[in-house]
DNA sequence: TGTCGTCTGTCGGCTAGCCCACAGAACTCC
DNA sequence: GGAGTTCTGTGGGCTAGCCGACAGACGACA
C-alpha cells in the first residue's frame, strides 16, 4: 500500500483507460462517472473510506469502463493489483468482503438509476450534499454550481435555483464556490428517500464484515 | 440445478425479501428493478443467458435489495445458494468468473444511470427493444405501452408517442400488447449509444472467460 | 488598488415529458 | 355474437428543466 496524494478534480482513471492499481480512500472521496459520447458525464456512485476503486475493473479486464475522479481531497492509498489478486484467491475472508461490497456498491448505483430518473433536482441536490457531508466530515464543500450540474446531469441554472430554494429555507448557505450545510435535519427531510436507503445499506455493510466472515466460516465447516 | 418455470411478469424476488437461490436464465430474461416508496419501479438491468440473478444478493445478506421479475418467458434453472457458495470458495475459476461478471453487470447499470438521465424516451425505447430483440431471439415481444412506461420510468403517453414515431419511420410495427422489430438496422441507428456500448462489453465478457481463467492461472503460478 | 477571470443571479423562450381524461378499437371470454 | 375488459390514440393543460445569454458580484493576483 503506497500513500498517494491527488488534487481535487484529478482524474484517477479515465473511462476506457488501463488500470494497474486499486485505490483505497482513507478520508478522500472518489467519484465514479459514466461519460457519454457528447462529453457529458454523470455520477453513478461515490466511494469513501468504506470502499475502494478498481477492485472489479483492474482485476481482470485491466481497463476501467468509467471515469474516476477525486471529489474530496484527503488521505488515500493505492496498491498494485497483482498481489491483491493473489490474496483474493487465497483468502476466503477477502472473497466474502468482496462479494458483500459488490452488492452494496451495486445497490447504490441502482438507487441512483431510480433517483436520477424520478426525483427533482432539488431533492437530488439534498441527497448529494448529505452524502458529501457524511464523508467530508464537517469540512467545507468547495463546489461550484457548474460542477454540481455536470455530475448531476442537470442544467447549471436548475442547480442554482435548487440551491437558492434551499438557502431560502435556511437549510444551506453558500457563496462563490463553497457550500455549507446549516440545518442537517431539514436537509434530510427535504432530500428524497434515496439518501437514507443507501446510507442504511452501507452502515449494515460496515457493521457486519466480521460477522459475515464468521457466518461464512461456520457455514463452510458445517458443509464439510 | 433445478429447472423452474415461471410466467411472464412473475416476481422472482421482491425488493427486501429473503433470497435462498441463484437463478440462471437459459433463454428467459429477468429484469432487475429498483422500487421507490411511492410504488414506482424502474429497470436497472436485465439478465439473460449470459448471467445470473442472486449471486451477490443471496451470497451473504440473503436479501435482495431489488425486485426481480420475469420479462421474457423461457427455460431457467435455479440452485440453492449454499453449495454455490462452497464452490465459490473452492474454485479460482468461479471467483474469476464472478469478478468479471460483476464488472460487466455493474457497467450495464452505470450506463443506465446516464441513459435514463440524458437520453430521450424514443432513444431509450430503441435501446430497450434492441436488448430484448437480442435476447428473445426473434420471438414476439408481448409488452404493452403501459408496461414499458413503468419500467422505463416514463409516462404511458410518452411511450405511445415514441412508439408511433418509430412506426412512422417503419422501424417497428405493433398492435395491442405486441411489438415487432421490422428494421433492425434503423433501430440501431435511432437508438442512443448505450445499446452498442453495453452489448460490446457483454460480448467481450462472453468471449473471454476461458482466457481470463488461463491468464489468472498463469499469473498465479508466476507469483509462487 | 486595479485588473481580470470566474461564478452566480436572472431572464425569456422553449420543449420534452408529465398528468388526467376520454373515446374508440381490439381482444377475450362466455 | 354480445358483453366486458384492456389497450391505444389523442387531446389539452401544465410544469420542470433545458438552453443561451448577459450583467453584476466576487475573489485572486499582481
Tens of pLDDT along B121-152?
999 999 999 999 998 877 789 999 999 999 99
CB contact under 8 A, B56 and A102: yes
Contact, B91 CB vs strand C, < 7 Å: no
Q: Which of residues 94-123 of A touch strand D (CB under 7 A)?
A: 120-122
The number of residues making up chain B comes to 224
- Give the position of cell 431533492: A123
- Give the least confident one: B112-116, B150-154, B166-170, B205-209: B205-209
Please name the helix (run of DSSP H) or strand (run of DSSP E) that holds residue A215, with its range, or none. Answer: helix A209-223
Mean pLDDT (whole number) for A69-82? 93
pLDDT at A142 (0 to 100): 93
Q: Cβ contacts of residue B102 below 8 Å, gap of 6+?
A: A56, A102, A106, B56
pLDDT at B139 (0 to 100): 77
Tens of pLDDT along B60-94?
788 999 999 999 999 999 999 989 888 889 998 88
CB contact under 8 A, B34 and A111: yes
pLDDT at A99 over 80: yes
Mean pLDDT (whole number) for A87-108? 91
Vertex A193 angle, CA B53 and A33, to 5°: 65
Give residue A22's pLDDT band: very low, low, confident or very high (50, 70, 90).
very high
pLDDT at B210 over 70: no
pLDDT at A222 (0 to 100): 54
Give residue B214's pLDDT band: very low, low, confident or very high (50, 70, 90).
low
Whole-prediction pTM: 0.92
Instruction: Identify which has the larger pLDDT, A29 or B216.
Output: A29
pLDDT at A137 (0 to 100): 75
pLDDT at A9 over 50: yes
Backbone angles phi, psi at B85, to 5 degrees: -65, -40
pLDDT at A156 over 50: yes
Residues of B in contact with A118 (CB under 8 A): 36, 40, 42, 153
Contact, A176 CB vs strand C, < 7 Å: yes
Nucleotides of D under 7 A from a protein CB: 6-12, 16-21, 26-27
Distance CA A177, CA A185 (A): 23
Residues of A in contact with B89 (CB under 8 A): 92, 95, 216, 220
pLDDT at B216 over 80: no
| Out of B36, B201, B216, closest to residue A118 by CB | B36
- Give the least confident one: A163-167, A213-217, B101-105: A213-217
The proportion of chain A whose per-residue pLDDT surpasses 70, expressed as a percent, equals: 92
Distance CA A214, CA B148 (A): 43
pLDDT at B196 over 90: yes
What Cα–Cα distance (Å) separates residue A203 from each residue in A50, A134, A208, A215? 9, 12, 9, 18
Vertex A14 angle, CA A8 and A20, to 5°: 100
**Average of per-residue pLDDT values in chain B:** 90
pLDDT at A224 (0 to 100): 46
pLDDT at A210 (0 to 100): 55
Distance CA A224, CA B172 (A): 55
Q: Which one of A40, A60, A92, A205 would you mutate to disrupt binding with B, by most B Cβ within 10 Å of its Cβ?
A: A60
pLDDT at A207 (0 to 100): 86
| Out of B82, B100, B110, closest to residue A60 by CB | B100
End-to-end CA distance of chain B: 36
- Give the position of cell 424516451: B121
Instruction: Identify which has the larger pLDDT, B218 or A4.
Output: A4
pLDDT at A78 (0 to 100): 95
pLDDT at A215 over 90: no
B206 in contact with A at a CB cutoff of 8 Å?
Answer: no
Instruction: Identify which has the larger pLDDT, B114 or A1.
Output: B114
Tens of pLDDT along B14-59?
999 999 999 999 999 999 999 999 999 999 999 999 999 998 877 7
pLDDT at B224 (0 to 100): 45
What is the maximum alpha-carbon separation in chain A? Answer: 63
Amino acid at each position: 500500500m503506497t500513500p498517494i496524494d491527488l488534487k481535487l478534480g484529478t482524474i484517477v482513471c479515465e473511462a476506457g483507460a488501463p488500470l494497474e492499481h486499486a485505490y483505497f480512500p482513507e478520508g478522500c472521496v472518489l467519484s465514479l462517472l459514466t461519460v457519454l459520447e457528447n462529453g457529458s458525464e454523470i455520477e453513478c456512485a461515490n466511494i469513501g473510506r468504506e470502499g475502494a476503486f478498481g477492485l472489479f475493473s483492474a482485476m481482470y479486464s485491466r481497463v476501467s469502463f468509467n471515469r474516476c475522479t477525486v471529489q474530496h481531497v484527503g488521505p488515500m492509498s493505492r496498491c498494485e493489483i497483482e498481489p491483491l489478486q493473489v490474496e483474493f484467491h487465497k483468502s476466503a475472508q477477502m472473497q466474502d468482503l468482496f462479494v458483500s461490497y459488490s452488492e452494496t456498491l451495486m445497490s447504490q448505483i441502482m438507487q441512483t438509476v431510480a433517483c436520477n430518473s424520478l426525483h427533482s433536482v432539488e431533492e437530488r441536490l439534498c441527497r448529494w450534499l448529505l452524502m458529501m457531508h457524511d464523508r467530508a466530515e464537517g469540512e467545507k464543500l468547495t463546489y461550484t454550481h457548474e460542477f454540481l450540474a455536470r455530475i448531476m446531469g442537470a442544467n447549471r441554472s436548475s442547480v442554482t435555483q435548487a440551491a437558492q430554494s434551499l438557502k431560502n429555507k435556511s437549510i444551506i448557505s453558500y457563496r462563490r464556490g463553497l457550500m455549507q450545510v446549516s440545518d442537517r435535519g431539514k436537509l434530510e427531510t427535504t432530500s428524497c428517500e434515496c439518501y437514507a436507503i443507501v446510507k442504511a445499506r452501507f452502515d449494515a455493510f460496515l457493521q457486519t464484515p466480521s460477522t459475515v466472515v464468521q457466518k461464512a466460516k461456520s457455514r463452510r465447516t458445517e458443509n464439510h
